[in-house]
A and B are shown apart, each in its own frame.
Chain A
Amino acid sequence: MKKRLFAFIVVIAMLMVSAGCGAKTASWGNLVIPKGGEVKIGVSSALSAGYAVYGQDMLNGVNLAIEKFGGSLKGFKVVAVGGDDQCEGAPGVTVAEQFSADPAILGVVGPMCSGSIVPAEDIYGKNHILMITPSGTAVIVTAKGFENVFRTIPNDDKQAEVGVDYLSKSLNVKTLAVVHDSSIYGQGIAEAVQTKFTAAGGKVSSFQGVTRGDTDFSAVVSSVLAGKPDAVYWGGMDAEAALLVNQLQKGGFKGIFFGPDGIKSKPSYVDASGGSAEGSYMTFGAATGASGYDEFLAAFKAKYNGDPVAYGPGSYDDAMFMLKAADAVGKVDANGNLVVDRKALVDYLRANAWVGVTGRFVFDKVGDPTVVTLTVFKVVNGEIVPQKEYKFGA
């Protein structure tokens, strides 16, 4: 009995020591690609159902970046791998687990939606996989403090600030109704807009959540319109926005419809609304100091036979930064294998300034861009046209 107890104590002690050692020499490990192998960039986005227009746009952006980079990293072929996270938490986690289990994944562009990022970043964080999202705007995305998480888009706090400023000052809206899709992203920005609009002296006539994927919003429309708002702010994505704006008009609404970056899509919002999106507004974030956008646009059009929708340019930048950083810190060892130190990759990304087609990015310690621009857009004759720019941190 005594022997057993002793053995037990020894085992516990060894475990404690080994755990302590592990913490001290926290190595993130290396990406090792054997000679002749492929380097993969994971793209976690919605590739089916309602929000697939954005997801495909991201994949297109990454593929173009790989092509422009020359198709290979230190002689190793680079490919993009799409993972369908459906803009939801659970599939986002599945994709994160697949990507983390794949030893050839250099890093991940995405996930597309804050709702996927929040659970998925725990997995990417644990496995030390570099993650850059061109679209995850919820404040909480970078609030967990993971070193490997970056984003190249301003957060929703700034987006709400811009939306409220434009609504109350430029559009002179006094009464606002807020509707959201009950997602981490949609509800988050809707709450920020509600708080800021009230603080700016406006009146929020109603604040309501609906269910994603629903098609009939008529009951919500009726209760929203009962408050006689000058404008309706939508916190959510394109597919529901197109239905909501259409049903608002069917319900007799003549006011302003305003939304965040999730509705900046010509095919899946403007065209999908049956004309009702005409005259509505949205905000979209970028950074200042962009360079080479026109060449990017020409190349994109030539390759995909159409304009980027929303996050294509951002995804292009994310993949490009990832490849450039990997090119700087990666080495080919004596056996001809490609070795990239995962920690060095992240440190290099944070230590340098990056100029892309959506802006010049310097990342702070949680991975947020320090200098950003937000633009208010309006739908005019079926096209999304910029109206006013707001700069932060300049």
Chain B
Amino acid sequence: MNGNGQLVVFLEQLLNGITVGSFYALVALGYTMVYGVLSMINFAHGDIFMVGAYIGFFTINRLTDVGLTASNPTLAIILTFLTGSLGAAVVGVTVERIAYRPLRKATRLASLISAIGASIFLEELVRLIPTIATAIINIKIGGAAILAPQTRQAILKIVGDMGGAMVKTYPGILSNDGFVIGGLFVSYSRILIVLISAVIMVVLYTLVRITKLGKAMRAVAEDKDTASLMGINVNQVITRTFFIGSALAGLAGVMVGMFYLQIKPTMGFVPGIKAFTSAVLGGIGNIPGAMIGGYVLGLAEVISILFLPAVYKDVVAFVILILVLIFKPTGILGSATSQKKM
């Protein structure tokens, strides 16, 4: 291989790293925002990401049923992103309400364990939805089924899109095409992913910096009690933080579905851990830190492939986590005080 070829491979790997990094960064933002306001690790966040992917999958299949995916794919993609992230946001807020809020005054360990419980609950719920639905619609009253067989079939088909143990496949709505620039092949779908993520992150950063909600979030992060005395509705701010963080995770979930096609109930676990690593790497509680952490981790993983066998990708990610925790627990952008300022 000549020098130019090596350069192209290197650039290609950079591009791969940025794509993967975008996913990590989007999910990492949710971890870091929640840590910022509550000083807790929301371990159910990876599963919120998975729920977003499933809601998006459900939406896009219904849009395909009514013919919108064929007639206006752009609108279908936008609608899928919207429902996926909104749905995930609602689930995220609900989890906060049920699993975290009652424990806010308890020890930190209690809410951590509650988060792990919420994570397992969401994963199993998605896995069992079709089983539960089948059991319900097959209930017989007085020996006769309540629903006609055709109705049952139709319901099962729709419910089947909501979960189940099997892998689900998104319709291939993004094209595999792309363009070649200096020997480097760049697919359109990749550009779309990177661009959407970048735009979202800039919007989020601006939101936290200049809007009233952002100010309130930073105030709550700094000191909940004082913020409350200043007339800030702390519970509302926390709910909104969960809403935004979960919406980002849901968006990332839909993106993963569209880009990689396959989704499954366990898909949230590894990205969740990687995003957590990104958040810690960037300095947990720090929003630009989470973005930088995501990209650094994504790049580190793909660059490692130039030197190490591909199976060591995850090893590299977690070695980085351990090293950061040992040598700079506050992360790249974190410092002892800015940790809680967002």
A residues adjacent to B (C-beta < 8 A): 47-50, 52-53, 182, 208-211, 213-216, 218-223, 226-227, 239, 242-243, 246-247, 249-252, 268, 271-276
Closest to B302 in A: A219
Q: Which of B127, B170, B262, B310 contacts A208 (CB 8 A)?
A: B310
Would you list the 5 A-B pairs with minimal beta carbon distance, nearest first?
A274-B172, A252-B185, A48-B165, A218-B16, A219-B302
Q: Is the CB of A215 within 8 A of B13?
A: no
Distance, CA A273 to CA B9, complexed state (A)? 24
A219 lies within 8 A of B165 (CB): no
Task: Please tell me if the beta carbons of A223 and B266 are within 8 angstroms of each other in the complex.
Answer: no
Q: B266 and A49: CB pair below 8 A?
A: yes
Instruction: Take A182-B311, A272-B261, A276-B176 as given contacts and tell me if A239 and B167 are in contact as well, using a CB distance cutoff of 8 Å.
Output: yes
Which chain A residues border B9 with CB–CB below 8 Å?
222-223, 226
Q: B145 at interface (Cβ–Cβ under 8 A)?
A: no
Question: B70 contacts the other chain (Cβ, under 8 Å)?
Answer: no
Interface positions of B from 4 to 19, Cβ below 8 Å from A: 5-6, 8-9, 12-13, 16-17, 19
Question: A250–B256 Cα gap in the complex (Å)?
Answer: 14
Given the known interface contacts A218-B19, A243-B260, A272-B262, the answer about A210 and B187 at a Cβ–Cβ threshold of 8 Å is no
Chain B residues in 8 Å Cβ range of A247: 260
> Does B216 touch A at the CB level, under 8 Å?
no
Q: Decide: A52 and B305 in contact? CB cutoff 8 A.
A: no
Contact between chains at B176 and A49 (CB < 8 Å) = no
Q: Are A211 and B311 in contact (CB under 8 A)?
A: yes
List of B residues within 8 angstroms of A249 by Cβ:
176
Add 11 more A-B contacts to A219-B13, A250-B189 (CB < 8 A): A49-B167, A49-B266, A209-B311, A214-B313, A216-B19, A222-B12, A223-B305, A242-B169, A250-B187, A252-B187, A272-B167
A239 to B261, CA, bound (A): 11
A211 and B311 CA atoms in complex are apart in Å by 6
Roughly how many angstroms separate A249 CA and B311 CA in the complex, as a whole number?
21
Interface residues of B in 274-313 (CB under 8 A from A): 301-302, 305-306, 309-311, 313
> Which residues from A are CB-within-8-Å of B29?
none
B260: contacting residue among A52, A211, A215, CB under 8 A? A215
**The one of A211, A239, A243 that contacts B314, using a Cβ cutoff of 8 Å:** A211
B67 close to A (CB within 8 Å):
no
B190 and A268 within 8 A (CB): no
Query: Taking the nearest CB of chain B, how far is it from the CB of A324, in angstroms?
Result: 33
Which of B17, B176, B262, B310 is within 8 Å of A215, CB to CB? B262
Q: Is the CB of B306 within 8 A of A246?
A: no
B262 touches A243 (CB 8 A): yes
A209 to B309, CA, bound (A): 7
Q: 20 A-B contacts, Cβ less than 8 Å apart?
A: A47-B165, A48-B127, A48-B165, A49-B166, A50-B167, A50-B264, A52-B167, A209-B309, A211-B313, A218-B19, A219-B302, A221-B16, A222-B16, A222-B302, A250-B178, A250-B190, A252-B187, A272-B262, A274-B169, A274-B171
User: Which residues of chain B have C-beta atoms less than 8 A from A209's C-beta?
Assistant: 309-311
Complex Cα gap A160–B79 (Å): 46
Given known A49-B167, A246-B176, contact A219–B313 (CB-CB < 8 A): yes
Smallest Cβ-Cβ distance to A248: which chain B residue: B176
Do residues A219 and B301 form an inter-chain contact, with CB atoms below 8 A? yes
B88 within 8 A of A: no
Given contacts A182-B311, A219-B301, contact A49 B13 (CB under 8 A): no
The complex places the Cα of A351 from the Cα of B1 at a distance, in Å, of 57
A222–B1 alpha-carbon span in the complex (Å) = 14
B267 within 8 A of A: yes
Closest to A84 in B: B165
Chain B residue contacts of A213, Cβ below 8 A: 266, 270
A276 / chain B contacts, CB cutoff of 8 Å: 172, 176
Closest to B304 in A: A219
Contacts of B264 in A (CB 8 A): 49-50
CA distance A229 to B17 in the complex (A): 23
User: B180 in the interface, Cβ–Cβ < 8 Å?
Assistant: yes
**Residues of chain B with a CB closer than 8 A to A222's CB:** 9, 12-13, 16, 302, 305
CB closest residue in chain B, given A246: B261
Residues of chain A within 8 A of B127, CB atoms compared: 48
* A residues in contact with B76, CB < 8 Å: none
- Name, among A48, A273, A274, the residue most crowded by chain B CB atoms within 10 Å (CB to CB): A274
B41 within 8 A of A: no
Complex CA–CA separation, A222 to B260 (angstroms): 16
In the bound complex, residues from chain A placing their C-beta under 8 Å from that of B12 are: 222, 251
Which of B165, B178, B180 interacts with A49 by CB under 8 Å? B165
A47 to B166, CA, bound (A): 8
Residue of A nearest to B172 (CB): A274
CB distance from B70 to the nearest CB of A (A): 15
Residues of chain B with a CB closer than 8 A to A211's CB: 310-311, 313-314
Is B251 an interface position by the 8 A CB rule?
Answer: no
CA distance A239 to B260 in the complex (A): 11
**For A274, what are the chain B residues with a Cβ–Cβ distance below 8 Å?**
169-172, 176, 261
A227 — nearest CB in chain B belongs to which residue? B1
Of listed B167, B180, B314, residue having the most chain A CB within 10 A = B167
Option from A220, A246, A251, A252 in Cβ contact (under 8 Å) with B310: A220
B20 interface residue per 8 A CB criterion: yes
What CA separation (Å) do A222 and B306 show in the bound complex? 10
CB distance from A309 to the nearest CB of B (A): 12
Output the residue of B8, B172, B189, B270 with the most chain A CB within 10 A: B172
Q: Is there an interface contact between B166 and A52, defined as CB atoms closer than 8 Å?
A: yes
A242 to B168, CA, bound (A): 12
Residues of B within 8 A of A220 (CB): 305, 310
Residues of chain A within 8 A of B19, CB atoms compared: 216, 218
C-alpha gap A227/B305 in the complex (Å): 15
Least Cβ distance of B41 to chain A in Å? 23
Residues of A within 8 A of B165 (CB): 47-49, 52
Q: A342 CB to closest chain B CB, in angstroms?
A: 33
Which B residues touch A273, using CB under 8 A?
261
* Contacts A53-B166, A272-B169, A275-B172 given; does A219 touch B310 at CB 8 Å: yes
Are A210 and B311 within 8 A (Cβ)? yes
Nearest-Cβ distance from residue B129 to partner chain A, whole angstroms: 14
Say yes or no: A243-B261 contact (C-beta < 8 A), given A211-B314, A218-B302, A250-B189.
yes
